Amino acid sequence: MQRKIFQYFPFKSNIGSRRAYSEVVEDDFRVLNLRAEQTSTRRLRKQKKVDTIIGPRTDKMSENQDWTSVWPGSKTFHPSSVPLPLRQGFNEKGAPPSKFANAELMKIPNFLHLTPLAIKKHCEAIKPYCTQWPKEIPNEKEWKDLYPIEVITSDYCHGLPTIRNPLSRIVTLKIKMSSLKFDARSKDKFLRLLGEHYNPDTDIITITSDRCPAKIQNFNFCLYILTACYFESHVSEPWENLKQEKDMISYEFSRNKSKETIEKIIELIKKNNPTVIPKITLDLAKSIENFINDVECEENIVEYKNEVKKLLGV
């Protein structure tokens, strides 16, 4: 089958415009084959997909690579970046599942960013902001005498939408009881005001605050509690003189009937044997106080026994 196509070519001359026609004869109509085009495009797409497939990154990692650049911070486990044959989970019929497509490894936090090399780099980065330890304070005992207050806070790096972590506001203040100046009455009142914040075994006062939204506010609040209790303990109220022996927190030899009893025993010894002059010593008073106030132990019993023997002259 043939078809004729006329092509039109306009041109201009001095006489006027003319028109020329050329006749082109084709043997047959062109056929549109949609299947051939679809199959060709599909083949190209498959070829492209096959060509773009990339293997795990671990296959291309070198042995002396910089791990801090691969895993610079805390993030979810990524099997293609970790060159270790890790396994996690349970499989009844075989070995635990591998690291690829393993949801168990993605659940738990990892510490792949806290390698010794990464910690060393962090230390080198913060060195310019650190100062040397003063030579005037050579040992721990001296700096504890100069700076008796110890403040404990925590800072967190996290991936939450808020800048401030709720736990970073908690402040703990510690100080030794021996660092503060008290007499017997003020110390007794100070211990009553502190309550459970004082540990008699370590002689440390611990005050913790988390009621304020900011860290500096909780720190100021802890200082306020310590300052208020300290100065209030030195204030003497008239009703405090009404305290009796059963109102005391600890046993005091000088304010108890045991002192009167020992004095009577000394008078009887003097009557029977005037050459012997026994007396109440500080060691005797201290041994009795330790025997009653402290936990019962063999050392306190032996000390109390020896002091009583000295008193009786045995």
Domain co-membership, 156 together with 223? yes
For residues 213 and 208, what is the distance between their CA atoms, to the nearest angstrom? 14
Asked if residue 64 is part of any domain, the answer here is no
Residue 276 carries which DSSP code? Answer: -
Same domain, yes or no: 268 and 303: yes
- Which domain-ending residue is among 219, 242, 265? 242
- Name every residue whose Cβ is closer than 8 Å to that of residue 71 and which is 6 or more positions away in sequence: 81, 82, 112, 113
| 192 in any annotated domain | yes
CA distance 20 to 11: 8
Least confident of 132-141, 199-208, 236-245, 270-279: 270-279
pLDDT of the residue at 276: 62
Asked whether residue 218 is assigned to any structural domain, the reply reads yes
User: Average pLDDT over the chain, rounded to whole?
Assistant: 79
Any idea which residue has 């008193």 for tokens? 311
Which stretch, 103-107, 132-136, 244-248, has highest mean pLDDT? 103-107
Last residue of a domain, one of 213, 242, 271: 242
Is the domain of 258 the same as that of 238? no
Which CATH number belongs to the domain containing residue 201 in this structure?
3.30.160.20
Q: Is residue 291 one of the residues assigned to a domain?
A: yes
Residues 206 and 163 in one domain: yes
pLDDT on residue 131: 87
- Evaluate if residue 124 carries a pLDDT over 80: yes
Q: Look at phi and psi of residue 56 and say left if phi exceeds 0, alpha if psi is from -120 to 50, else beta.
A: beta
CB 176 within 8 A of CB 205: yes
User: Which pair of structure tokens corresponds to residue 236?
Assistant: 């003497």
Residue 32, pLDDT above cutoff 80: no
Phi/psi at 26 (5° precision): -110, 150
> Is there a single domain that holds both residue 234 and residue 257?
no
- 284 CB burial (10 A radius; 0-12, 13-18, 19+): buried
Report the C-alpha gap between 86 and 105 in whole angstroms: 9
Per the structure, the complete domain to which residue 276 belongs is given by 250-312
Q: Phi, psi (5° rounding) for residue 313?
A: 75, 30
Residues 237, 158: one domain? yes
Among residues 193, 216, 242, which one ends one of the domains?
242
Q: What is the pLDDT of residue 9?
A: 46
Residues of the chain with pLDDT > 90, as a percent, come to: 18
Residue 98 included in any domain = no
224 found inside a domain = yes
pLDDT in tens, 62-99: 888 888 888 888 888 988 888 888 888 888 888 889 88
Q: Does residue 58 sit within a domain? A: no
Q: Is the pLDDT of residue 24 over 60?
A: no
pLDDT single digits (tens) 216-235: 999 999 999 999 999 999 88
What percentage of the chain has pLDDT greater than the value 70? Answer: 77
Q: How many separate domains does the chain show?
A: 2
Q: Is the residue at 32 inside a domain?
A: no
Instruction: Indicate whether 187 and 169 sit together in one domain.
Output: yes
145 and 228: one domain? yes
